């Protein structure tokens, strides 16, 4: 009798481990799929923007779309998108491409959050909340510009993630994540007054 109980318990354990293994394998495949979708989105955005003569960069780990300072930058201690040099039009083009790529084939389902990230140079800002506030306001400025100027059918603020929460958020890093480590000239400073877009 004890032998029968032992065999049945062993079979139950083996069955449970087999089911768990399949569940883990399914979860791993889903994570791999999400990683691939994120890479596809970033590559597609980069390519579509290049066709529009807007050259952006993708980080080494394929999580961040870097917008170089010659594409979108900010004046010293300013958070509004400059009207000069066509930067508003460029920001709007980026918003168009971003929306099209995320919504294609419902790829938003594989994303948790897209952060619009603001950055500053190393010089202290006299504005309220200093560089942290300034960098956050830069991210908010881009976010608001998209939602005020994109067509009604392309509103980024209406996109939700797989859990039904808003897909987009904003964040500010101040001077803590410089694109240009050495900051001595105005060109050096300008490279750090920028926006990144992070996909998670």
Contact 195, 139 (CB under 8 A): yes
How do residues 114-167 score in pLDDT, each as one tens digit? 999 999 999 999 887 899 999 999 999 999 999 999 999 999 999 999 899 999
Tokens at 175, concatenated: 């001077």
By DSSP bridging, strand 114-118 and strand 57-58 are unpaired
What's the mean pLDDT in 78-94?
Answer: 91
| pLDDT for residue 80 is more than 90 | yes
How do residues 6-63 score in pLDDT, each as one tens digit? 777 777 777 776 766 666 666 678 878 889 999 999 999 999 999 999 999 999 888 9
Give the pLDDT score at 24: 65
Long-range contact pairs involving 98-103 (C-beta distance under 8 Å, separation at least 24): 98/45, 98/156, 98/197, 99/150, 99/154, 99/156, 99/159, 100/48, 100/154, 101/41, 101/44, 101/45, 101/48, 102/41, 102/159, 102/167, 103/159
Give the pLDDT score at 117: 97
From the list 175, 161, 151, the residue with the least C-alpha distance to 76 is 175
From the list 154, 183, 200, the residue with the least C-alpha distance to 69 is 183
Give the pLDDT score at 23: 67
Give the pLDDT score at 102: 95
Q: What is the DSSP string of the chain?
A: -HHHHHHHHHHHHHHHHHHHHHHHHHHHHHHHHHHHHHHHHHHHHHHHHHHTT---EE-TTS-EEEE-TTTS---TT--SPPSGGGHHHHHHHHHHHHHHHHHGGGGGGG-S-EEEEE---SSPP-STTHHHHHHHHHHHHHHHHHHHHS-GGG-GGG-B-TTSSBSEEEEE-TTSS-SSS---SHHHHHHHS-EEEEE-
Give the pLDDT score at 5: 80
Give the pLDDT score at 144: 97
Give the pLDDT score at 140: 97
Give the pLDDT score at 154: 94
From the list 135, 59, 54, 57, the residue with the least C-alpha distance to 96 is 54
């Amino acid at each position: 009798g004890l032998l029968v109980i032992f065999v049945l318990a062993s079979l139950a354990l083996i069955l449970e481990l087999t089911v768990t293994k399949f569940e883990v394998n399914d979860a791993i495949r889903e994570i791999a799929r999400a990683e691939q979708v994120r890479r596809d989105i970033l590559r597609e955005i980069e390519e579509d923007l290049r066709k529009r003569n807007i050259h952006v960069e993708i980080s080494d780990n394929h999580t961040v779309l870097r917008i170089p300072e010659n594409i979108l930058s900010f004046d010293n201690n300013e958070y509004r998108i400059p009207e000069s040099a066509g930067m508003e039009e460029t920001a709007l083009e980026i918003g168009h491409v971003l929306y099209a790529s995320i919504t294609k084939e419902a790829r938003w389902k594989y994303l948790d959050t897209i952060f619009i990230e603001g950055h500053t140079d190393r010089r202290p800002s006299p504005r309220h909340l200093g560089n942290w506030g300034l960098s956050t306001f830069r991210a908010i400025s881009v976010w608001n510009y998209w939602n005020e100027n994109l067509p009604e059918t392309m509103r980024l603020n209406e996109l939700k993630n797989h859990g039904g929460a808003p897909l987009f958020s904003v964040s500010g890093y101040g001077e803590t994540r410089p694109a240009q480590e050495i900051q001595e000239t105005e060109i050096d400073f300008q490279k750090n007054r920028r926006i990144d877009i992070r996909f998670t």
